[in-house]
């Protein structure tokens, strides 16, 4: 209740904002306002011709005034109100706090309460010099509240508007380093910076960054999504163009290539560009790598500054000189034609390899037409499944039209299964060796240096023998059992990509049951998403573990790529593929007879992803990865990767198991 209004304030039960006394709908979120008895001392009688309003419940609150006591805090002033609650400045033990009292309506939704509880727990555990300290938080109190220490300083948003000359690149670099250091701790507590804004970033009296608690939220997302958003915030701070918030907004940056920021050094622009790559697999994988690159940047005064104006890349920008042109600009046309010719030479000849990689191969022209989608095989090396004619299956019961009408289908612990008297149950084959197709290669047991290359030759992992497919699974094979994927390049003989790890598990179980094998995977549907476990002693089809994949890719050698130190010999990658996925077997195999272990499409593995796993491995015999995680491992590189780090044989990537990723496919393994 306010002290000067004479009646209670009315708030929307959905967004918590003030409502006009006679409003029928919230002006901010559109929520319907309930009917309540008039708060006026002498209400006007309703006209008999008008029906009574029948609306949903509302929530009313009493606001705290200066001098009031709340949970041991003495209120000094009301600051503002947001969708979560009302903020006050308050004192306790001579310490100044920002006190937020949560709206009761915010605690009516169990899902919101759960997320808020996780967020508050993470904030209480955070203790970092670049994050405002949350000393108290409780949802059990009536009403719930949180208290965060007050930060004396100026927000970066306000600094850019009022004192733009103070926002130098040196300061932004310093902020970026402190921000990445804080982001590491924030991620450890299960929190995300995906809602970070410059208004929630403060500079204290010593020009050190302090993140406000309002910027930190509980949200399960890939670390690379946080990196993308952080990069966008830093780019908007660094750019002084009037359209900076649009040009470097998250939505536009996810669709168009990052534009270098004029007035900012080339080196810092490169760091931002790798944070803001449109392809998530091409971004920095974690904050440690960004910190390493930020600290290695040359001094601003010693570095080259980008002088390319943004206006030259922005469509619909009016030229400064509006005089009509007298005729065509022949010099410009000639320059464009020359650029097209040079690009064509790099794309359709081996000129790049001759000029920049020292290749001794003669100059050759590869042509403009794509290679035919055919499979390079021999008579005894065909990448074709030989399975009995049984009904095919797709993900979660989405059956294909070839199934017999009237057949019953049920879910079991292996995914989708058939039920009925006309379909015999596949016999268990756990006591003898199951037939192995000719396109599978047996790899004998052995030891190797997992996660190690030429810098460390010591073996640290031992594996039992297993079988692995010569080629990546094709679209034709996938489409026999599953709904066709939204692939990057269409062709039955091309590797399938953009399929989720979870759907691959269902595919493996489907072909195992169709072949009369014991499925390797068991799905527990009591959790959401379903929990998946693997029986590595089963003879069914499965994904390779990360150690099995690397063992197969190295083939007893220490090449940078699978089978050679020259990617041109063994891989389809950015420099020779024109960004198109190619048919398996088009490049040389490694010593194990396996094709495309480097390049073409990246490949899903079984393991949960942990950035430090290969350095701190504890299981040395048949390791199968960490016991828990949120992302699954991806290995091998693809046609979008250039020569070097991302294509290297020991480079590790990660992805959400529930989402398909372009240019990421898989190959199959069997234990026996």
Secondary structure, 3-state, 587-602: CCCCCCCCCCCCCCCE
Number of other residues whose CB lies within 10 A of the CB of residue 578: 15
Supply the pLDDT for residue 424. Answer: 41
Range name among 207-216, 231-240, 365-374, 636-645 with the lowest pLDDT average: 365-374
Q: Residue 119: give its domain's CATH number.
A: 3.30.200.20
What is the rounded distance in angstroms from the CA atom of residue 166 to the CA atom of residue 152?
18
In sign, the C-alpha dihedral spanning 374, 377, 378, 380 is negative
Res 593 pLDDT > 50: yes
Supply the pLDDT for residue 354. Answer: 65
Has residue 450 been placed in a domain? yes
Q: What does each C-alpha distance from 100 to 16, 118, 186, 209, 668 come to in angstroms?
A: 13, 17, 21, 22, 54
Angle value at C-alpha 473, between 467 and 475, nearest 5 degrees: 160
What is the rounded distance in angstroms from the CA atom of residue 448 to the CA atom of residue 550?
9
Mean pLDDT of 212-230: 87
Mean pLDDT of 479-484: 90
**The pair of three-digit structure tokens given for residue 395, joined into one six-digit string:** 């993900």
Question: Is residue 392 within 8 Å of 402, Cβ to Cβ?
Answer: yes
Q: Which residue has the higher pLDDT, 111 or 334?
A: 334
Are residues 518 and 590 both part of a single domain? Answer: yes
Indicate the pLDDT class of residue 33, thresholds 50, 70 and 90.
low
**The pair of three-digit structure tokens given for residue 283, joined into one six-digit string:** 């971004």
* pLDDT per position as a tens digit, 491-501: 999 999 999 99
Q: Chain-wide mean pLDDT for the chain?
A: 79
Last residue of one domain, picked from the residues 149, 177, 208: 149
What is the rounded distance in angstroms from the CA atom of residue 394 to the CA atom of residue 639?
28
* pLDDT per position as a tens digit, 403-448: 333 443 344 555 644 333 344 444 443 434 567 898 999 999 999 9
Q: Alpha-carbon dihedral of residues 537, 541, 543, 549, nearest 10 degrees?
A: 80
**The pair of three-digit structure tokens given for residue 407, joined into one six-digit string:** 């057949």
Has residue 205 been placed in a domain? yes
Selection from 463, 460, 464 nearest residue 618 by Cα: 460
Supply the pLDDT for residue 26. Answer: 72
Selection from 620, 621, 622, 625 nearest residue 606 by Cα: 625
What is the rounded distance in angstroms from the CA atom of residue 165 to the CA atom of residue 161?
10
Are residues 74 and 193 both part of a single domain? Answer: no
Are residues 131 and 234 both part of a single domain? Answer: no
Last residue of one domain, picked from the residues 134, 149, 164: 149
pTM value is: 0.47
**The pair of three-digit structure tokens given for residue 609, joined into one six-digit string:** 């992803």
Q: What does each C-alpha distance from 254 to 219, 232, 257, 439 come to in angstroms?
A: 20, 10, 8, 40
Question: Is residue 474 within 8 Å of 383, Cβ to Cβ?
Answer: yes
Q: What does each C-alpha distance from 509 to 360, 392, 527, 597, 616 come to in angstroms?
A: 48, 12, 19, 23, 32
In sign, the C-alpha dihedral spanning 485, 486, 491, 493 is negative
- Would you call 628 exposed, middle or buried from its count of C-beta atoms within 10 A (0-12, 13-18, 19+)? exposed
Are residues 345 and 295 both part of a single domain? Answer: no
Question: Is residue 408 within 8 Å of 418, Cβ to Cβ?
Answer: yes
Contacts with 444 (C-beta within 8 Å, 6 or more apart), sequence order: 465
Q: What does each C-alpha distance from 247 to 2, 239, 242, 251 come to in angstroms?
A: 43, 9, 10, 9
* pLDDT per position as a tens digit, 455-479: 667 788 999 999 999 999 999 999 9
What is the rounded distance in angstroms from the CA atom of residue 534 to the CA atom of residue 637?
25
Contacts with 63 (C-beta within 8 Å, 6 or more apart), sequence order: 1, 2, 9, 78, 86
Supply the pLDDT for residue 568. Answer: 93
Helix (H, G, I), strand (E, B) or coil at 232: helix
Range name among 40-44, 298-302, 391-395, 662-666 with the lowest pLDDT average: 391-395
Are residues 160 and 178 both part of a single domain? Answer: yes
Res 139 pLDDT > 50: yes
Are residues 123 and 167 both part of a single domain? Answer: no
Supply the pLDDT for residue 29. Answer: 62
**The pair of three-digit structure tokens given for residue 572, joined into one six-digit string:** 């389809």
Indicate the pLDDT class of residue 35, thresholds 50, 70 and 90.
low
Has residue 320 been placed in a domain? no
Are residues 143 and 161 both part of a single domain? Answer: no
Residue with tokens 């079984």: 606
Res 610 pLDDT > 80: yes
Indicate the pLDDT class of residue 543, thresholds 50, 70 and 90.
very high
Has residue 387 been placed in a domain? no
Mean pLDDT of 110-117: 79
DSSP E strands, 421-477: 440-443, 446-448, 461-463, 466-469
Contacts 24+ apart (CB under 8 A), 451-459: 451/550, 451/613, 451/614, 451/615, 451/617, 451/650, 452/650, 453/558, 453/560, 453/648, 453/649, 453/650, 454/558, 457/558
CB-side neighbour CA atoms (13 Å) of 502: 17
Contacts with 209 (C-beta within 8 Å, 6 or more apart), sequence order: 130, 174, 175, 178, 179, 182, 201, 202, 203
Has residue 3 been placed in a domain? no
- Would you call 332 exposed, middle or buried from its count of C-beta atoms within 10 A (0-12, 13-18, 19+)? exposed
Contacts with 261 (C-beta within 8 Å, 6 or more apart), sequence order: 235, 238, 239, 269, 272, 306, 310
Are residues 164 and 145 both part of a single domain? Answer: no
How many residues does the structure list for the chain? 672
Helix (H, G, I), strand (E, B) or coil at 479: helix
Indicate the pLDDT class of residue 39, thresholds 50, 70 and 90.
very low
Question: Is residue 623 within 8 Å of 536, Cβ to Cβ?
Answer: no
Res 27 pLDDT > 90: no
Contacts with 581 (C-beta within 8 Å, 6 or more apart), sequence order: 487, 488, 489, 494, 495, 497, 572, 600, 601, 638, 639, 663
Range name among 144-158, 450-464, 641-655 with the lowest pLDDT average: 450-464
Has residue 187 been placed in a domain? yes
Domain that residue 529 falls in? 444-672
Has residue 435 been placed in a domain? no
Are residues 214 and 228 both part of a single domain? Answer: yes
Q: Residue 221: give its domain's CATH number.
A: 1.10.510.10
**The pair of three-digit structure tokens given for residue 423, joined into one six-digit string:** 């379909």
DSSP E strands, 383-507: 408-412, 415-419, 440-443, 446-448, 461-463, 466-469
Number of other residues whose CB lies within 10 A of the CB of residue 401: 6
Q: Which residue has the higher pLDDT, 57 or 459?
A: 459
**The pair of three-digit structure tokens given for residue 264, joined into one six-digit string:** 């900012």
Are residues 186 and 260 both part of a single domain? Answer: yes
Contacts with 243 (C-beta within 8 Å, 6 or more apart), sequence order: 310, 314
Res 212 pLDDT > 60: yes
Are residues 210 and 238 both part of a single domain? Answer: yes
Q: What does each C-alpha distance from 29 to 14, 16, 18, 409 come to in angstroms?
A: 8, 10, 11, 44
Are residues 144 and 239 both part of a single domain? Answer: no
Has residue 78 been placed in a domain? yes
Supply the pLDDT for residue 281. Answer: 83
Q: Residue 495: give its domain's CATH number.
A: 3.90.1580.10
Res 261 pLDDT > 60: yes
Please provide the DSSP assignment of 638-672 as one string.
-TTPPSSGGGSTT-EEEE-TTS--TTEE---EE--
Last residue of one domain, picked from the residues 97, 120, 149: 149
- Report the domain count for the chain: 4
What is the rounded distance in angstroms from the CA atom of residue 278 to the CA atom of residue 256?
7
Supply the pLDDT for residue 659. Answer: 92
In sign, the C-alpha dihedral spanning 241, 243, 245, 249 is negative
The percent helix, strand, coil of the chain (3-state, each to 5) is 25, 20, 55
Supply the pLDDT for residue 318. Answer: 39
Res 620 pLDDT > 50: yes
């Amino acid at each position: 209740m306010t002290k000067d209004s004479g009646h209670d304030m009315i708030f929307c039960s959905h967004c918590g904002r003030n409502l006009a006394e006679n409003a029928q709908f919230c002006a901010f979120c559109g929520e319907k306002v309930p009917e309540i008895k008039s708060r006026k001392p002498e209400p006007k009688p309703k006209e008999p011709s008008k029906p009574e309003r029948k609306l949903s419940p509302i929530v009313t609150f009493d606001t705290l005034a200066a001098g009031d006591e709340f949970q041991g805090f003495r209120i000094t002033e009301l600051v503002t109100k947001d969708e979560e609650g009302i903020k006050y400045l308050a004192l306790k033990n001579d310490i100044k706090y920002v006190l937020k009292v949560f709206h009761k309506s915010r605690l009516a939704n169990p899902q919101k309460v759960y997320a808020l509880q996780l967020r508050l727990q993470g904030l209480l555990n955070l203790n970092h010099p670049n994050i405002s300290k949350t000393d108290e938080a409780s949802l059990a109190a009536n009403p719930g509240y949180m208290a965060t220490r007050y930060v004396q300083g100026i927000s970066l948003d306000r600094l850019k508007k009022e004192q733009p000359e103070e926002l130098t690149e040196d300061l932004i670099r310093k902020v970026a380093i402190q921000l990445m250091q804080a982001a590491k701790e924030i991620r450890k507590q299960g929190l995300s910076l995906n809602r970070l804004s410059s208004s929630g970033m403060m500079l204290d009296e010593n020009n050190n960054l302090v993140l406000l608690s309002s910027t930190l939220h509980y949200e399960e997302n890939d670390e690379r999504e946080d990196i993308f958003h952080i990069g966008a915030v830093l780019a908007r701070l660094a750019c002084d163009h009037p359209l900076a918030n649009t040009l470097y907004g998250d939505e536009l940056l996810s669709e168009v290539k990052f534009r270098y920021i004029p007035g900012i050094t080339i080196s810092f622009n490169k760091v931002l560009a790798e944070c803001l790559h449109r392809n998530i697999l091409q971004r920095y994988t974690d904050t440690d790598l960004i910190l390493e690159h930020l600290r290695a940047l040359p001094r601003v005064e010693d570095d080259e500054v980008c002088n390319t104006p943004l206006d030259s890349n922005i469509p619909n920008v009016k030229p400064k000189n509006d005089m009509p042109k007298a005729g065509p600009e022949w010099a410009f046309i000639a320059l464009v034609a020359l650029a097209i010719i040079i690009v064509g030479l790099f794309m359709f000849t081996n000129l790049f390899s001759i000029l920049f990689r020292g290749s001794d191969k003669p100059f050759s022209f590869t042509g403009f037409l794509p290679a035919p989608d055919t499979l390079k095989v021999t008579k005894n090396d065909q990448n074709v499944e030989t399975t009995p004619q049984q009904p095919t299956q797709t993900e979660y019961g989405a059956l294909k039209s070839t199934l017999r009408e009237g057949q019953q289908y049920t879910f079991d612990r292996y995914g989708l299964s058939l039920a009925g008297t006309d379909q015999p149950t596949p016999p268990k084959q756990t006591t003898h060796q199951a037939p192995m197709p000719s396109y599978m290669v047996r790899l004998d047991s052995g030891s190797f240096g997992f996660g190690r290359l030429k810098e460390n030759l010591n073996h640290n992992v031992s594996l039992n023998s297993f079988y692995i497919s010569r080629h990546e699974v094709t679209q034709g094979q996938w489409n026999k059992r599953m709904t066709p994927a939204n692939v990057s390049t269409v062709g039955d003989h091309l590797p399938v990509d953009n399929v989720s790890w979870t759907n691959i598990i269902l595919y493996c179980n489907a072909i195992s049951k169709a072949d009369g094998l014991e499925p390797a995977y068991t799905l527990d549907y009591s959790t959401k998403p379903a929990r998946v476990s693997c029986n590595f002693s089963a003879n069914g089809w499965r994904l390779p573990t990360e150690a099995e994949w690397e063992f197969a890719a190295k083939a007893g050698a220490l090449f940078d790529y699978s089978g050679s130190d020259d990617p041109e010999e063994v891989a389809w990658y950015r420099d020779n593929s024109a960004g198109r996925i190619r048919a398996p077997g088009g490049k040389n195999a490694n010593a194990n007879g396996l094709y495309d272990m480097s390049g073409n499409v990246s490949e899903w593995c079984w393991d949960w992803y942990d950035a430090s796993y290969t350095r701190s491995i504890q299981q040395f015999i048949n390791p199968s990865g960490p016991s828990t995680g949120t992302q699954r491992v991806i290995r091998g590189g693809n046609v979008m990767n250039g020569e070097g780090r991302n294509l290297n044989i020991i480079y590790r990537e990660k992805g959400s198991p529930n989402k398909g990723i372009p240019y990421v496919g898989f190959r199959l393994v069997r234990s026996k």
